[in-house]
Amino acid sequence: DTAVSQTPKYLVTQMGNDKSIKCEQNLGHDTMYWYKQDSKKFLKIMFSYNNKELIINETVPNRFSPKSPDKAHLNLHINSLELGDSAVYFCASSQTGNSYNEQFFGPGTRLTVL
Amino acid sequence: AQSVSQHNHHVILSEAASLELGCNYSYGGTVNLFWYVQYPGQHLQLLLKYFSGDPLVKGIKGFEAEFIKSKFSFNLRKPSVQWSDTAEYFCALTSGGSYIPTFGRGTSLIVHP
Protein backbone atom coordinates (compact mmCIF):
# COMPACT_ATOMS: atom_id res chain seq x y z
CA ASP A 1 0.00 0.00 0.00
CA THR A 2 1.27 3.46 -0.89
CA ALA A 3 1.98 5.52 2.21
CA VAL A 4 1.85 8.98 0.63
CA SER A 5 0.22 9.33 -2.75
CA GLN A 6 -0.15 12.29 -5.09
CA THR A 7 -2.16 12.93 -8.20
CA PRO A 8 -1.50 13.70 -10.91
CA LYS A 9 2.05 12.51 -11.51
CA TYR A 10 2.46 14.89 -14.45
CA LEU A 11 0.66 18.16 -15.06
CA VAL A 12 1.15 20.28 -18.16
CA THR A 13 -0.80 23.51 -18.41
CA GLN A 14 -0.82 27.01 -19.81
CA MET A 15 0.20 30.20 -18.06
CA GLY A 16 -2.65 31.86 -16.23
CA ASN A 17 -4.54 28.64 -15.51
CA ASP A 18 -5.57 27.44 -12.07
CA LYS A 19 -4.67 23.89 -11.06
CA SER A 20 -4.73 21.58 -8.06
CA ILE A 21 -2.56 18.73 -6.89
CA LYS A 22 -3.98 16.18 -4.48
CA CYS A 23 -2.15 14.41 -1.69
CA GLU A 24 -3.24 11.64 0.62
CA GLN A 25 -1.42 9.77 3.36
CA ASN A 26 -2.52 6.56 5.04
CA LEU A 27 0.10 6.59 7.80
CA GLY A 28 -2.08 8.25 10.40
CA HIS A 29 0.34 11.15 10.63
CA ASP A 30 -0.83 14.43 12.06
CA THR A 31 1.18 16.81 9.90
CA MET A 32 1.50 17.20 6.15
CA TYR A 33 3.78 19.32 4.02
CA TRP A 34 4.29 20.63 0.52
CA TYR A 35 7.74 21.04 -0.99
CA LYS A 36 8.88 22.51 -4.28
CA GLN A 37 11.95 21.03 -5.98
CA ASP A 38 13.44 23.16 -8.72
CA SER A 39 15.51 22.11 -11.72
CA LYS A 40 18.67 22.20 -9.62
CA LYS A 41 17.11 19.73 -7.17
CA PHE A 42 16.91 22.36 -4.43
CA LEU A 43 14.14 21.38 -2.03
CA LYS A 44 12.13 24.23 -0.57
CA ILE A 45 9.38 23.82 1.98
CA MET A 46 6.21 25.67 1.10
CA PHE A 47 3.72 24.74 3.80
CA SER A 48 3.46 22.73 6.94
CA TYR A 49 -0.05 21.94 8.16
CA ASN A 50 -1.70 20.06 10.96
CA ASN A 51 -5.09 20.42 12.51
CA LYS A 52 -3.77 23.11 14.78
CA GLU A 53 -1.77 25.39 12.60
CA LEU A 54 -0.71 26.27 9.11
CA ILE A 55 2.87 27.41 8.76
CA ILE A 56 3.59 29.17 5.53
CA ASN A 57 7.01 29.83 4.11
CA GLU A 58 6.87 33.59 3.69
CA THR A 59 8.56 33.41 0.30
CA VAL A 60 5.68 31.43 -1.19
CA PRO A 61 3.39 33.60 -3.34
CA ASN A 62 -0.20 33.82 -2.17
CA ARG A 63 -1.25 32.25 -5.47
CA PHE A 64 -0.43 28.99 -3.72
CA SER A 65 -2.82 27.76 -1.08
CA PRO A 66 -3.13 24.47 0.80
CA LYS A 67 -6.53 22.97 1.46
CA SER A 68 -7.03 20.18 3.96
CA PRO A 69 -10.44 18.50 3.99
CA ASP A 70 -9.26 16.11 6.71
CA LYS A 71 -6.14 14.87 8.45
CA ALA A 72 -5.24 12.47 5.68
CA HIS A 73 -5.39 14.95 2.82
CA LEU A 74 -3.58 18.14 1.93
CA ASN A 75 -4.25 19.50 -1.53
CA LEU A 76 -2.31 22.28 -3.20
CA HIS A 77 -4.14 24.89 -5.23
CA ILE A 78 -2.27 27.18 -7.54
CA ASN A 79 -3.89 30.19 -9.14
CA SER A 80 -2.70 32.12 -12.18
CA LEU A 81 0.14 29.78 -12.98
CA GLU A 82 3.44 31.31 -14.09
CA LEU A 83 6.39 29.88 -15.98
CA GLY A 84 8.48 29.94 -12.80
CA ASP A 85 6.06 27.58 -11.12
CA SER A 86 7.38 24.74 -13.27
CA ALA A 87 8.95 22.29 -10.83
CA VAL A 88 8.39 19.01 -9.07
CA TYR A 89 6.06 19.31 -6.09
CA PHE A 90 6.35 16.80 -3.29
CA CYS A 91 3.86 16.14 -0.58
CA ALA A 92 5.13 14.67 2.69
CA SER A 93 3.85 13.70 6.08
CA SER A 94 5.24 13.06 9.53
CA GLN A 95 4.12 12.45 13.05
CA THR A 96 4.95 15.44 15.19
CA GLY A 97 5.40 15.35 18.90
CA ASN A 98 9.01 14.32 18.44
CA SER A 99 11.25 16.35 16.16
CA TYR A 100 13.29 13.25 15.32
CA ASN A 101 10.46 11.66 13.39
CA GLU A 102 11.32 11.50 9.72
CA GLN A 103 9.26 12.66 6.80
CA PHE A 104 7.58 10.33 4.33
CA PHE A 105 7.41 11.69 0.83
CA GLY A 106 4.99 11.17 -2.00
CA PRO A 107 6.13 10.32 -5.53
CA GLY A 108 6.01 13.92 -6.71
CA THR A 109 4.04 15.86 -9.31
CA ARG A 110 5.98 17.29 -12.21
CA LEU A 111 4.32 20.56 -13.16
CA THR A 112 5.17 22.15 -16.49
CA VAL A 113 3.78 25.58 -17.27
CA LEU A 114 3.88 26.57 -20.94
CA ALA B 1 18.04 30.26 12.59
CA GLN B 2 19.23 26.83 11.61
CA SER B 3 20.92 25.97 8.33
CA VAL B 4 22.44 22.97 6.58
CA SER B 5 25.36 23.08 4.16
CA GLN B 6 26.36 20.41 1.70
CA HIS B 7 29.53 21.58 0.06
CA ASN B 8 29.87 18.77 -2.48
CA HIS B 9 27.26 19.53 -5.11
CA HIS B 10 28.40 16.91 -7.60
CA VAL B 11 30.41 13.78 -6.93
CA ILE B 12 31.46 11.27 -9.57
CA LEU B 13 32.92 7.93 -8.54
CA SER B 14 33.69 4.57 -10.02
CA GLU B 15 32.13 1.44 -8.60
CA ALA B 16 33.88 0.09 -5.49
CA ALA B 17 35.25 3.52 -4.58
CA SER B 18 34.66 4.83 -1.09
CA LEU B 19 32.20 7.64 -0.52
CA GLU B 20 32.03 10.49 1.92
CA LEU B 21 29.51 13.29 1.52
CA GLY B 22 29.85 16.32 3.73
CA CYS B 23 27.09 17.87 5.79
CA ASN B 24 27.56 20.74 8.19
CA TYR B 25 24.90 22.50 10.15
CA SER B 26 24.43 25.67 12.05
CA TYR B 27 22.39 25.53 15.24
CA GLY B 28 23.37 26.02 18.84
CA GLY B 29 21.05 23.56 20.51
CA THR B 30 20.07 19.92 20.33
CA VAL B 31 19.61 18.65 16.81
CA ASN B 32 18.25 15.65 14.96
CA LEU B 33 20.00 14.88 11.70
CA PHE B 34 18.82 12.96 8.67
CA TRP B 35 20.11 11.76 5.34
CA TYR B 36 17.57 11.23 2.61
CA VAL B 37 18.19 9.72 -0.81
CA GLN B 38 16.34 10.43 -4.04
CA TYR B 39 16.92 7.88 -6.79
CA PRO B 40 16.39 9.11 -10.37
CA GLY B 41 12.74 9.86 -10.97
CA GLN B 42 11.71 8.82 -7.49
CA HIS B 43 10.71 10.43 -4.21
CA LEU B 44 12.92 11.08 -1.23
CA GLN B 45 13.33 8.27 1.26
CA LEU B 46 15.15 8.06 4.54
CA LEU B 47 18.65 6.55 4.58
CA LEU B 48 19.40 7.06 8.26
CA LYS B 49 18.94 9.45 11.13
CA TYR B 50 20.58 10.49 14.36
CA PHE B 51 18.79 11.86 17.39
CA SER B 52 20.67 10.54 20.42
CA GLY B 53 23.04 7.84 21.61
CA ASP B 54 25.83 6.37 19.51
CA PRO B 55 27.05 9.10 17.15
CA LEU B 56 27.84 6.50 14.50
CA VAL B 57 24.58 5.65 12.81
CA LYS B 58 24.07 2.81 10.37
CA GLY B 59 21.39 3.00 7.73
CA ILE B 60 20.07 1.03 4.82
CA LYS B 61 22.14 -0.25 1.89
CA GLY B 62 25.45 -0.13 3.75
CA PHE B 63 25.42 3.60 4.46
CA GLU B 64 26.54 5.10 7.74
CA ALA B 65 26.98 8.59 9.12
CA GLU B 66 28.86 10.03 12.05
CA PHE B 67 27.63 12.90 14.16
CA ILE B 68 30.54 15.01 15.35
CA LYS B 69 29.11 17.66 17.61
CA SER B 70 32.32 19.65 17.93
CA LYS B 71 32.48 20.02 14.16
CA PHE B 72 28.75 20.50 13.63
CA SER B 73 28.98 17.75 11.05
CA PHE B 74 27.05 14.66 9.98
CA ASN B 75 28.95 13.19 7.05
CA LEU B 76 27.59 10.26 5.10
CA ARG B 77 29.89 7.36 4.24
CA LYS B 78 29.89 4.11 2.33
CA PRO B 79 33.02 1.98 1.96
CA SER B 80 32.24 0.71 -1.54
CA VAL B 81 29.66 2.32 -3.80
CA GLN B 82 27.63 0.60 -6.47
CA TRP B 83 26.16 1.88 -9.71
CA SER B 84 22.73 1.69 -8.06
CA ASP B 85 23.81 4.33 -5.53
CA THR B 86 23.55 6.97 -8.23
CA ALA B 87 21.12 9.46 -6.72
CA GLU B 88 20.66 12.82 -5.02
CA TYR B 89 21.52 12.86 -1.34
CA PHE B 90 20.02 15.37 1.05
CA CYS B 91 21.09 16.17 4.56
CA ALA B 92 18.41 17.62 6.84
CA LEU B 93 18.06 18.89 10.38
CA THR B 94 15.32 19.34 12.90
CA SER B 95 15.75 20.76 16.35
CA GLY B 96 14.00 20.47 19.64
CA GLY B 97 12.15 23.63 18.89
CA SER B 98 10.84 22.69 15.47
CA TYR B 99 9.70 19.54 13.70
CA ILE B 100 9.93 21.24 10.31
CA PRO B 101 13.17 20.09 8.68
CA THR B 102 15.76 22.30 7.11
CA PHE B 103 17.28 20.64 4.05
CA GLY B 104 20.67 21.13 2.49
CA ARG B 105 20.92 21.82 -1.23
CA GLY B 106 21.69 18.19 -1.99
CA THR B 107 24.63 16.32 -3.51
CA SER B 108 24.34 14.62 -6.85
CA LEU B 109 26.25 11.32 -6.85
CA ILE B 110 27.02 9.55 -10.11
CA VAL B 111 28.63 6.12 -9.92
CA HIS B 112 30.17 4.78 -13.11
CA PRO B 113 30.04 1.01 -13.59
Q: Could you report the per-residue pLDDT of A20-54, keeping only the tens digit for each?
A: 999 999 999 999 999 999 988 888 999 999 877 88
What does the pLDDT average to over A61-89?
A: 94
Chain A residues inside the 8 Å CB shell of B105: 40-42
Q: Where are the domains of chain B?
A: 3-112
Q: How many domains does chain A have?
A: 1
Given this model, what pLDDT does residue A1 score? 63
Average pLDDT over residues A85-100: 89
CATH no. for residue A64? 2.60.40.10
Q: Identify the pLDDT of residue A86.
A: 97
- Give the type of residue at B49: K
Contacts of B48-56 with CB under 8 Å at 24 or more apart are B48/B76, B49/A100, B49/A102, B50/B74, B51/A100, B52/A100
What fold is seen in the domain B3-112?
Answer: Immunoglobulin-like (2.60.40)
pLDDT tens digits along B85-104: 999 999 999 987 778 889 99
Longest Cα–Cα distance in chain A: 42
Handedness of CA A91, A92, A96, A98 (dihedral sign): negative
Residue ranges of chain B with per-residue pLDDT less than 50: none
What is the pLDDT at residue B68? 96
- At A82, give phi and psi (nearest 5°): -120, 160
What local confidence, expressed as pLDDT, does residue B95 receive? 85
Q: Which residue of A lies nearest to B88 if distances are taken between CA atoms?
A: A41
Domain that holds residue A26: 4-96+104-113
Mean pLDDT for A57-63 is 88
CA pair distance B4, B101, nearest whole angstrom: 10
H or E element, residue A33: strand A31-37
Q: Does A34 touch chain B (CB under 8 A)?
A: no
Q: How confident is the model at residue A81 (pLDDT cuts 50, 70, 90)?
A: very high
Which chain A positions have a beta carbon within 8 Å of B96's beta carbon?
Answer: 99
